[in-house]
Amino acid sequence: MSNYNGKWKGVIDSILTLPLVLPPTVAGFGILLLIGKRGPVGQFLNLFGFNIIFSWYAAVIAAIVVAFPLMYKTTMGAFEQIDTNILSAARTLGASEWKVFWHVAVPLARPGIAAATALSFARCLGEFGATLMVAGSIPGKTETIPIAIYFATQGGEMEVAIIWVAIIFAISLTVLVINNYWDSYKKKGRYGAGA
């Protein structure tokens, strides 16, 4: 994608980024239209006896759709920041496009990809609106932590809510700490000393 410069680039880019700016309920509504009982995908799957709406599959799909733009934008940025001379150098040394990608581009973009993963993970974890629309809140099946917190608070069960809040707090913090630590570890190894 970062090498593609055709006239559709702007359009494709916008479509892929759209869920980032849309309210999650709108994204959820779109997914519902597609995979709902009357949606094209939903009807197709129904032929085989599958129903994914209001199942945990739907929650996963909602999370992916909502988090994808973050993953896409951040990863793309990481690839675009690579010095093109370095990629050219690899090609002049006889490397195939496969080797250029996996041995040069991906390692150089790795910090960016890691950051993208962490961000997307956090976004997925916090996903609320779209999930509620397509997966509902079936305790023990499709109830995600943010939804559980919401309903616990609504129902006055503050103790339950606090436990969930603490759990999500711990998970998010751990991910960020690991991400930062890993980042500075890489820098110490290669970019710190000398130069």
Partner 1 sequence: MDLLVDIKKKLYGFQLDVSLESQRDIIGILGASGSGKSMMLRCIAGLVKPDEGQIIVNGKTFFDSEKKIDLPIRERKIGFLFQNYALFPNMTVSENIAFGLDHLSKADKKNKVAQLMEKYNLAGLEKRYPTQISGGQQQRIALARAVAVEPDILLLDEPFSALDVHLRNHMIREMSESLKDFQGMTIFVTHNRDEAYQLCDRIAVFNAGKVEAFGEKDKLFQRPVSLETAKITGCKNMAKARKISENTVAVPEWGVRLDSKMKIEHEEGHIGIRANHIRIVDESTKENCFKVWIADESDGPFRTFLYLKIGSQPEKLDDFHFQCEISREQRNEIKDRSGPLYVYLNPEYVFFVEK
Q: Which residues bind partner 1 (CB under 8 A)?
A: 83, 85-86, 88-96, 99, 104, 107-108, 110, 189-191, 193-195
Minimal distance, residue 88 CB to partner 1, in Å = 5
Residues 6+ positions from 92 with CB-CB distance below 8 Å: none
Is 15 or 86 the residue whose CB approaches partner 1 more closely?
86
The closest of 151, 79, 73 to 116, measured between CA atoms, is 73
Minimal distance, residue 81 CB to partner 1, in Å = 12
Minimal distance, residue 186 CB to partner 1, in Å = 9
How far apart, in whole angstroms, are the C-alpha atoms of residue 169 and residue 17?
A: 27
Is 116 or 135 the residue whose CB approaches partner 1 more closely?
116
Is 9 or 91 the residue whose CB approaches partner 1 more closely?
91
Minimal distance, residue 184 CB to partner 1, in Å = 15
Is 91 or 141 the residue whose CB approaches partner 1 more closely?
91
Q: Sort residue 7 into left (φ over 0), alpha (ψ -120 to 50) or beta.
A: alpha
SS3 assignment for 21-63: HCCHHHHHHHHHHHHCCCCHHHHHHHHCCCCCCCCHHHHHHHH
